[in-house]
Amino acid sequence: MIKLGVNVDHVATIRQARMTYEPDPVTAAGLADLGGADVITIHLREDRRHIQDRDLDLLRETVFTKLNLEMATSQEIVDIALKLKPAQITLVPEKRQEITTEGGLSVTTQKKMLTDLIKRFKDNDIYVSLFIDPDKDQIIASSDVGAQSIELHTGSYANAESEEQSTELLKILNVAVGIAQNQGLRVNAGHGLTYKNTGPVVEQLDIEELHIGHSIVSRAIFVGIEAAVREMKDLIYKHYMIKQSL
């Protein structure tokens, strides 16, 4: 069944709004684990707007599922990742002005740099994924530079303004999955997914992991992290079983 990666960045965002010690994303990660999370995802940004180095250090010691570190390719963050050795890193584009990640990594324009960087990570037994748009050239380039998996950016699908548009964007994602698998890449997906739009992704895309943050943390305000994660796990299971029955 598709695994669930829970991004706890937004818990840290609330904490940093007051520059205090609560709510603690490390505690949130533990509760997400109790709710059934298969992966804990965090993004250590260069400007430290949410996750802090302290969080990464503690999560590296306390996450017993899989810790997935989203990160830019800046030397500072690369050095931190190589020192701490999370189970997986996902390379993403990063702009200081953006509220959240706005699109996929341009692999085609950075092939030499990414090839060298990915080799460094793999030589240190760190699994490497690339966050990219569902574009054929980007997918093939991801394989060329040595990535082991990709995470398809689902933002356009999540922001679709009609059912027809949503259907078309799912078709684009589905084609991208097939291209990636033919290249020997494992495929994950994420960005903008919610309790309302995740079902069709589960039913129609042959992927391994879904990475969801904002919607789960938003739901957790009302029901708690553990329950919110469990609800998403149940939703994924429900639609996975529908897919199996087709």
Rounded average pLDDT per 10-residue block, the chain, 246 residues: 96 96 97 98 94 96 95 95 97 67 85 97 98 97 98 96 96 98 98 97 97 98 98 98 90
Q: Compute the distance between CA of residue 40 and CA of residue 60 in angstroms, rounded to an integer.
A: 10
Answer yes or no: 209 catalytic.
no
Q: Which of 130, 152, 125 is nearest to 142 (CA)?
A: 130
Find the angle CA(29)-CA(31)-CA(35) to the nearest 5 degrees.
110
Angle at which helices 9-18 and 214-223 cross, to 10° = 70
How high is the pLDDT of residue 101? 55
How high is the pLDDT of residue 98? 46
**Which tens digits make up the pLDDT trace of 84-113?**
999 999 999 965 554 455 578 999 999 999
Cis peptide before 200 (omega within 30 of 0): no
Q: What domains are defined for the chain?
A: 3-245 (3.20.20.70)
Answer yes or no: 211 catalytic.
no
How high is the pLDDT of residue 81? 97
Which of the following is catalytic: 10, 50, 70, 226? 70
**Torsion over CA: 194, 140, 165, 238 (sign):** negative
Residues making up the chain, counted from first to last: 246
Q: Compute the distance between CA of residue 191 and CA of residue 198 in angstroms, rounded to an integer.
A: 11
Answer yes or no: 214 catalytic.
no
How high is the pLDDT of residue 102? 58
How high is the pLDDT of residue 103? 76
Helix (H) or strand (E) holding 3: strand 3-7
Q: What would the two tokens of residue 12 be?
A: 């840290």
Which of the following is catalytic: 191, 211, 226, 239? 191
How high is the pLDDT of residue 246? 77
